[in-house]
Amino acid sequence: MRKRQSVPVRTLLISTTLLATGLCQHLIPASQVHWQFVLQRLYYLPIILAALSFGWRGGSITALIGGVFYSVNTFLTSPASSYDLLDLDLEVTMFCLVGMMTGILADREARRKSTLEQTARELSKVYRELQENFEQMKRTERLSAIGQLSAGLAHEIRNPLAAIEGSADVLQNETPSEKQRHEFLGIIQKECRRLNRLLTNFLDFAKPRQPDLEMTEIGHLVDSVVGLAAHAAGGTPIMFNKEIAASLPLLECDPEQLKQVLLNLTINAIQAMQPNGGEITIKAQERQQQVFLEVQDQGCGILPEYLGKIFDPFFTTKNDGTGLGLSVAHQILQQHGGQLTAERNAEQGMTFRIILPVKRTSVL
Ligand SMILES: Nc1ncnc2c1ncn2[C@@H]1O[C@H](COP(=O)(O)OP(=O)(O)O)[C@@H](O)[C@H]1O
Ligand SMILES: [Mg+2]
């Protein structure tokens, strides 16, 4: 698009050049043929300038005015015998042709530029809208996640509360035997513990703390997880195998959080193999600046239709499960810029795989 503020300046420049050329032609005697030739060509300058600035109309009008100047000056300054009328006509026609053609090309270029600018404006508008929609989607997703969580939490709290209330009623209204008293108090204690565990896990999920990164030795971390998990196995005969690659680098992570993730996975593996037991293999290796940590079990496995749900908060197939272990693990790994995947083993059981970058540049 032509700039508005430059229109008067251009008009002035074009008129000045045109007038100056005409005046020079008028003042320089026809005998100075070389100067006359130069001036004749100089008329093209304002014509082309006008065509470029104001399109074919501007080019044509300037060419006509230039033609008039040129013809009048030639008639007035040269003796009738020294110019060729055909040559004069041809020159004026050339002025008009050059003015019009350059103007048409300039118009076409201006239209193309304006279309491009329009497209760029539309594209940037679409981009802005897309960004707004994306932000909106993120907000909606977060709201729906909070809604889902609250509904799940309410459901999870109601059951233990009902059990506690029922037991308390029995203890208050009836005269239970010592054995019954013991049994109902046991139920109350168990359900309180369950509620406490649920709330701790929920808080970990709802308000995860930022990872406190430090260079961590994975071998030690796995040892300590196996030590803790062995207690959780109770009487179930579990054999732990560790396959830690010798060349494993130190991993930049929050060791407490990663321990929690590995422990959640290992306890799930133990629970999946109860009551018969079996082997749990924990592998660690490095490929292309990423550490792969795997927990492989020989348990009951996960049905293919459940695979898409196990990372949802409160999804559990266990009577006393909270369904938050994998959600918490998933979230911790996301904060580390890593991933958690679950795969059914070819023969039996599951493999959970943690993928973490060896070095973090920033925490998400
Ligand atoms: N290693 C595993 N083998 C079989 N099923 C598993 C395994 N790990 C997780 N699951 C399934 O995923 C569900 C969700 O696990 P999790 O989030 O830890 O909650 P919870 O252990 O409290 O049920 C479990 O209830 C179980 O059905
Ligand atoms: Mg669990």
At residue 87, the pLDDT reads 83
Contact in structure between 352 and 270 (CB atoms under 8 Å): no
Handedness of CA 262, 265, 268, 269 (dihedral sign): negative
Dist. CA 234 → ligand 2 center (Å): 16
What digits encode the pLDDT tens for the residues 76-132?
877 666 667 888 889 999 999 999 999 999 999 999 999 999 999 999 999 999 888
Dist. CA 198 → ligand 1 center (Å): 15
At residue 360, the pLDDT reads 66
Q: Which residue owns the Cα nearest ligand 1 atom 18?
A: 325
Dist. CA 244 → ligand 2 center (Å): 24
Dist. CA 299 → ligand 1 center (Å): 11
Element (H, E) at 8: helix 7-27
Q: Alpha-carbon distance 145 to 19, whole Å?
A: 77
Dist. CA 268 → ligand 1 center (Å): 6
Contact in structure between 24 and 45 (CB atoms under 8 Å): no
At residue 197, the pLDDT reads 82
Q: Which residue owns the Cα nearest ligand 1 atom 4?
A: 301
Q: Indicate if the pLDDT at residue 361 is higher than 60.
A: no
Nearest to 36 by CA among 86, 90, 87, 74: 74
What digits encode the pLDDT tens for the residues 217-246?
999 999 989 988 887 787 889 999 999 999
At residue 142, the pLDDT reads 62
Give me the residue label for tokens 């040559």: 87
Is the model's pTM score more than 0.85?
A: no
Q: Alpha-carbon distance 55 to 49, whole Å?
A: 10
At residue 154, the pLDDT reads 83
Contact in structure between 329 and 264 (CB atoms under 8 Å): yes
Contact in structure between 301 and 342 (CB atoms under 8 Å): no
Dist. CA 294 → ligand 2 center (Å): 16
Smallest-distance ligand from the CA of 321: 1
Rg (CA), the chain: 43
Q: Which domains does the chain have, with CATH numbers?
A: 4-126 (no CATH), 146-206 (1.10.287.130), 214-357 (3.30.565.10)
What digits encode the pLDDT tens for the residues 127-178?
999 888 877 876 776 666 667 667 777 878 888 899 999 999 888 888 878 8
Element (H, E) at 285: strand 278-287
Nearest to 272 by CA among 222, 232, 225: 232
Task: Identify which of 238, 263, 326, 344 to mutate to test ligand 1's pocket (most ligand atoms within 8 A of the CB).
Answer: 326
CA of 326, closest atom in ligand 1: 17
Smallest-distance ligand from the CA of 300: 1
At residue 144, the pLDDT reads 67
Ligand 1 binding residues, C-beta < 6 A: 264, 268-269, 272, 297, 299-302, 310, 315-318, 321-327, 350
What digits encode the pLDDT tens for the residues 246-305?
989 999 999 989 998 999 999 999 999 999 999 999 999 999 999 999 999 999 999 999
CB-based burial label for 281 (10 Å; 0-12, 13-18, 19+):
middle
What digits encode the pLDDT tens for the residues 299-331?
999 999 999 999 988 899 998 888 889 998 998
Q: Indicate if the pLDDT at residue 363 is higher than 50.
A: no
- Residue 361 sits at the vertex; the CA angle it makes with 359 and 364, to the nearest 5 degrees, is 110
